[in-house]
Chain A
Amino acid sequence: MLRLHPFRYHRPGTVGEATELLANFGAEAMPIAGGTDLMPNMKHRLFTPGHLVSLNRIAALRGIHLDAAGARLRIGATETLADIASNPLVQQRLPALATAAGLVAGPQLRNMGTIGGNICLDTRCTYYNQTEFWRAALGYCLKKNGTVCHVTRVGKKCVAAHSADTPPVLIALGATLVLAGALGTREMAANDFFVADGIRNTRRAHGEVLAEIRIPLAGPRRRSAYRKLRQRGSIDFPLLSVAVVCDFDESGAVERIRGVVSALGARPRLLSGWDGIAVGSALDNGVIDALAERAHAQCRPLENAIVDAEWRRAMVPVQVRRALREVAVLPPKGVSAMRPAR
């Protein structure tokens, strides 16, 4: 039995009321959407807000639709992962997003969990996502109540892992996020939203609400893929995730390519140097190997998850190659009957 601490529960009907409540109660208040991240974290006493501001009765935070020009898909922040994964527009126009949303946790959690909560998910670490009792026994850690990091042992920086499935895809697709605060709204590239600080890894100001996700659409020559490595295919968080988005020209050569690797450090990593390797070439096995090698060189996981960091690192080029083969529609090399690592 894990009891919650006492709090008051607010159910505003508009974004304005929500941001006002958050502003009034300041550091004492937190927004809650599906609660699938925050409720377990509160049961572990990682957060003990005196006021919860529910976003679930705000109609303006829902909806999945094309904008007027048909150039972008707009998704309200409290749309559930289940509804996004099964939405025909998302499946047709942004298949990698449908895949990523459909690979989050298990079915009940996708019925409850929202895309906004997924984007604002707290970072995770073996030494952090534990009960109060467990953490107290270890003397806590830098991210919460303590002074040392049990992963780096020396550093003064928390390296807990960004563990959400949809942000790598959103970054690769060039999505933007709309944030509403008591003083107005602002729009920010998804890639700029995250910072490499495991304690608080987003630029969301305390009283701000993530209201909407806007995703630019491309023509039929864009292909995308999402791959996720996890222990149990039924429910677990990613140990490593890879999103790839590639635009091809008429001849079938790469026009533009973006790759994102995540679940290793505090923020998703937009890979550098990929355009230089691939643009103008076909996405053949040689180019794929070069891109995978480039990804490998940029990713150095630490011991922040329950599996060996060296193994996770070795899996980076493997998963990147598989994602790239999906995008290139090449037969998987050396893998028979390949199934996504669910």
Chain B
Amino acid sequence: MEVVRLRVNGDERACGVPAHYTLLETLRYGLGLTGSKQGCDKGDCGACTVIVDGRAVLSCITPVWEAEGRGVRTVEGLGRGTEPHPVQDEFDLNGAAQCGFCTPGILCSAVAFLERNPSPDRDRIRAALAGNLCRCTGYEKIYDAVEAAAARLRDR
């Protein structure tokens, strides 16, 4: 075991982990943040997507040491207190989640994308979410939700 120091959702956290742990394993099994999902566990599906220094990355293939000294945001940290993030709210309003397994990863991809691209068209939203598989929704409602959230974030 070694101690890794991470800044997760604004909190400084320290956690004992085996040196070969991934960021996802540390979040889920070290810090109890089970929002980020372990899907394929090898870079194919996007369920484990988190935001590191403003960019969407796959935590299942990120060695935990690469996240040290960087800002990590997970689905648990997107809203403020009990207030959901507008993207989360629009997922709810648009029926963009069914089983919900892909949802935390898609929310992270969408939030990181909208922070860099406040006025995207639908094709760019589609491209930004290309690394997140969803087996339930058929994607259209997800794009609807992100489009609506983009408009709300612009009006804020």
A interface residues (Cβ-Cβ under 8 A, vs B): 1-2, 4-9, 11, 32, 35-36, 39-40, 43-44, 52, 54, 56, 82, 105-109, 111-112, 233-235
Residue among A4, A43, A44, A111 making CB contact with B56, cutoff 8 Å? A111
Q: Which residues of B contact A105 (CB under 8 A)?
A: 131
Knowing A7-B19, A35-B61, A43-B42, the reply to whether A109 touches B131 (Cβ < 8 A) is yes
Knowing A6-B18, A108-B46, the reply to whether A235 touches B63 (Cβ < 8 A) is no
CA distance in complex: A8, B43 (Å): 22
Q: Which residue of A lies closest to B21 (CB)?
A: A4
Q: Which residues of B contact A106 (CB under 8 A)?
A: 46, 130-132
CA distance in complex: A307, B48 (Å): 29
CA distance in complex: A265, B67 (Å): 36
CB distance from A236 to the nearest CB of B (A): 10
Q: Which residues of A contact B58 (CB under 8 A)?
A: 36, 108-109, 112
Q: Which residues of B contact A112 (CB under 8 A)?
A: 57-58, 61-62
Residue among B43, B56, B127 making CB contact with A40, cutoff 8 Å? B43
Contact B46 A54 (CB under 8 A): no
Contact B61 A6 (CB under 8 A): no
In this assembly, does B148 line the interface, its C-beta being within 8 Å of a C-beta of chain A? no
Knowing A107-B128, A111-B55, the reply to whether A2 touches B42 (Cβ < 8 A) is yes
In this assembly, does B74 line the interface, its C-beta being within 8 Å of a C-beta of chain A? no
Q: Which residues of A contact B61 (CB under 8 A)?
A: 35-36, 39-40, 43, 112
Contact A107 B63 (CB under 8 A): no
Those of B31-71 within 8 Å (CB) of chain A: 38, 41-44, 46, 49, 55-58, 61-63, 65-66
Contact A40 B42 (CB under 8 A): yes
Residue among A6, A32, A35, A108 making CB contact with B19, cutoff 8 Å? A6
Count of B interface residues, CB-CB < 8 Å: 29
Contact A35 B18 (CB under 8 A): no
Q: Which residues of A contact B103 (CB under 8 A)?
A: none
Nearest 3 Cβ contacts at the A-B interface = A106-B131, A234-B130, A39-B61
Q: Which residues of A contact B26 (CB under 8 A)?
A: none
Instruction: Report the tally of A-B residue pairs with Cβ distances under 8 A.
Output: 82
CA distance in complex: A72, B108 (Å): 38
In this assembly, does B88 line the interface, its C-beta being within 8 Å of a C-beta of chain A? no
Q: Which residues of B contact A2 (CB under 8 A)?
A: 41-42
CA distance in complex: A1, B61 (Å): 12
The 8 A CB mask of B54-98 against A (1 = contact, 0 = none) is 011110011101100000000000000000000000000000000
Most buried by B among A36, A111, A233: A111
Knowing A39-B61, A111-B56, the reply to whether A235 touches B66 (Cβ < 8 A) is no
7 residue pairs of the A-B complex, CB under 8 angstroms, read: A7-B20, A11-B65, A35-B61, A43-B41, A54-B65, A108-B49, A108-B131
CA distance in complex: A5, B57 (Å): 22
Residue among B20, B65, B66, B109 making CB contact with A107, cutoff 8 Å? B109
CA distance in complex: A32, B64 (Å): 13
CA distance in complex: A107, B132 (Å): 9
CA distance in complex: A243, B121 (Å): 29
CB distance from A302 to the nearest CB of B (A): 24
Q: Which residue of B lies closest to A32 (CB)?
A: B63
Those of B5-38 within 8 Å (CB) of chain A: 18-22, 38
CA distance in complex: A105, B49 (Å): 15
Beyond A9-B63, A35-B62, A105-B131, 6 additional contacts (C-beta under 8 Å) are A6-B19, A35-B66, A40-B43, A107-B129, A108-B56, A108-B109
Contact B42 A4 (CB under 8 A): no
Q: Which residue of A lies closest to B50 (CB)?
A: A108
Contact A54 B63 (CB under 8 A): yes
Q: Which residues of B contact A32 (CB under 8 A)?
A: 63
Q: Which residue of B lies closest to A131 (CB)?
A: B42
Q: Which residues of A contact B63 (CB under 8 A)?
A: 9, 32, 35, 39, 52, 54
Contact A235 B20 (CB under 8 A): no
CB distance from A270 to the nearest CB of B (A): 30
Contact B20 A6 (CB under 8 A): yes
CA distance in complex: A117, B19 (Å): 22
CA distance in complex: A299, B130 (Å): 31
CA distance in complex: A287, B95 (Å): 54
Q: Which residues of A contact B66 (CB under 8 A)?
A: 35, 54, 56
